[in-house]
Chains A and B, each alone.
Chain A
């Protein structure tokens, strides 16, 4: 998967080999101080006057599932394209798999598995042919492509569709095929740009299950999403992006602890009522967010808030007490919802 593992297995062959102290972390084997697979500092992307990515810093460690969470237009896809070496960086530093995208594009791409936001499958070919030819792009021998294609079709549960053309497949099946395709070169790093956008809930869950299995096998995943449930399900660590910048970083749990309370009480009132309730929520919760259609009251004990509100004579039509999510984190950080 990573330089680290390759280096580690190399080290076991020659255990007595003395190692110079100034050696990069990657050579010391896996661990907390392993070299990151992606290292970005002040990474910037400009298109003319427009700044799509504005000086972001992040590192992705081997074996982790790392997410970029943010609304459309936050700069996630531009960041992914720079990592994928299909878009040159405008400023800052970026190294991917210890190489420089500006110089080593083809060599980096040889070790990536890319799942683009929009399907780029070849409709003129069959499902299996799509995998075979993709393996050939990486210079793999035909027999090897065939072997891997069959294994991967099995993994994404498309074995019975191998001989079919791509076009009649459902959106979820096409995504699964795209994921299978991205795995044909046994990538060190997978880049998934909004892997489940536009899919129905069932197809999303099936896809998450496959991605979760990949993660368990130690494949490093980098994904973008504007679904907070996707980020919570899949990401070990994530950055929240908004307006070309990173506004927060941490594990889903850390982010929720840092930027939200344990629970949230959601009050919905009959139309027209909420506007008349100015000041009535003051002091009920740690933080109060008034959205057009509901009021969110943040507190560690949601039921407590509900009881106090009732005793103040507030009678919402519906009450929902739930745990805080990344959606709440995003709302806190940007004052907006993720999906508008």
Chain B
């Protein structure tokens, strides 16, 4: 029973932990999430395929059939499916990101308190934030990649740049996930999540150029789309998948920079709120 005999016959000495966050500590948090994920992996992959197939079939083919007959000039000669696909990609990844930063994070802080358990080891609150952001990014990359793959199977992508649309969708998801994580760390119950999803996430999902071009909105509402981080993600993915990014490269850069800025601010605020939650007084 040498495992409990203390230093006298200690076999492998654990490495001296760093005092700040480093990849060596952050990756242990990622590893924990991966270990948890193994249990739900199959169902999750199935869902990742199911959502795009269902949406693209129902809306792209079903609804698209009507839209395409109207010969609307707004779509600039695209089929509705081609217009819709990048919007759905960005919006789905955004929803996944928002979700992943709500319930699972609240669980670690409040329900089974695994983040508190981590904080009793060399893991720091900042490691927990970075580790979870990295984990969410990986999750979103998987969801986005599967979605993009289905889009290609549906023949709804017009450019090989669809490959770049995946990281851009991930960035969109992170621009939602990181502020959400910052907010989650201030909550003790999930009560406000429903409100946030109902009045925040869902309206953005509907009015950010996902299902129809923002040009279809009344002219006074169109500038409002600029305030929606999702619209920037949707437009960026759309430019890449339609191969039109070369027409307005500056706009694409602005989209990306905006999403990066929101993500960085989200992480910075989450650092504070998660630390405030774990450190007692």
Give the B-binding residues of A (Cβ under 8 A): 1-2, 5-6, 9, 45-47, 78, 81, 84, 86-88, 90, 103-107, 109-110, 112, 114, 116, 118-125, 129, 132-134, 136-141, 144, 147-148, 151-152, 154-155, 181, 183-188, 214, 217-219
User: Does B54 lie at the interface of the complex (its beta carbon under 8 Å from any beta carbon of A)?
Assistant: no
Instruction: Check if B116 sits within 8 Å of A120, measured CB to CB.
Output: yes
Judge whether A139 and B28 touch: CB under 8 Å. Answer: yes
Q: Does B117 contact A (CB under 8 A)?
A: yes
Q: Measured between C-beta atoms, what is the minimum distance from B52 to chain A in Å?
A: 27
Asked if residues A88 and B3 are in contact (CB atoms below 8 Å), the reply is no
Given A86-B278, A133-B35, A134-B117, check contact A155 B1 (CB 8 Å): yes
- List B residues at the A interface (Cβ < 8 Å): 1-8, 10-12, 14-19, 24-25, 28, 31-32, 35-36, 39, 112-114, 116-124, 278-281
CB atoms of A214 and B7 under 8 A apart: no
Find out whether the CB atom of B120 lies under 8 angstroms from the CB atom of A86: yes
A78: B residues at CB distance < 8 A:
280
Please name all residues of chain A whose beta carbon is closer than 8 Å to the beta carbon of B14 when the two chains form the complex. 110, 138-140, 185
Given contacts A110-B17, A134-B117, A137-B121, A151 and B7 within 8 Å (CB-CB): no
Task: Please name all residues of chain A whose beta carbon is closer than 8 Å to the beta carbon of B25 when the two chains form the complex.
Answer: 106, 139
A164 to B61, CA, bound (A): 46
Tell me whether A86 and B279 are in contact (CB under 8 A): yes
Top 5 nearest A-B pairs (CB, nearest first) are: A1-B6, A120-B117, A87-B280, A137-B121, A114-B120
Most B CB contacts (10 A, CB to CB) among A124, A147, A154 go to A124
**Do residues B17 and A120 form an inter-chain contact, with CB atoms below 8 A?**
no
Q: Which residues of B contact A129 (CB under 8 A)?
A: 35
Q: Choose one: A137, A151, A186; the contact of B123 (CB below 8 Å).
A: A137
Q: Which residues of A contact B124 (CB under 8 A)?
A: 105-106
Q: Is the CB of B5 within 8 A of A116?
A: no
* Chain B residues whose CB sits within 8 angstroms of the CB of A86 once the complex forms: 116, 119-120, 278-280
A186 to B11, CA, bound (A): 10
* Complex Cα spacing A88 to B278, Å: 11
Q: Contact: B3 with A148, CB < 8 Å?
A: yes
Give which listed residue, A5, A134, A141, A218, contacts B121 with CB less than 8 A.
Answer: A134
Q: Is the CB of B7 within 8 A of A118?
A: no
Given known A1-B6, A107-B122, A133-B35, contact A140–B113 (CB-CB < 8 A): no
Q: What are 20 pairs between A and B in contact, CB < 8 Å?
A: A1-B6, A46-B281, A87-B279, A87-B281, A106-B25, A109-B121, A116-B116, A120-B112, A120-B113, A125-B39, A133-B35, A139-B17, A152-B3, A181-B117, A185-B121, A186-B6, A217-B6, A218-B5, A218-B6, A218-B8
A125: contacting residue among B10, B36, B280, CB under 8 A:
B36
Q: Which residues on B sit within 8 Å (CB–CB) of A147?
A: 3
Among candidates B35, B114, B120, residue contacting A84 with C-beta atoms closer than 8 Å: B120
**Chain B residues closer than 8 Å to A219, beta-carbon distance:** 4, 6
B277 to A: closest C-beta gap in Å: 11
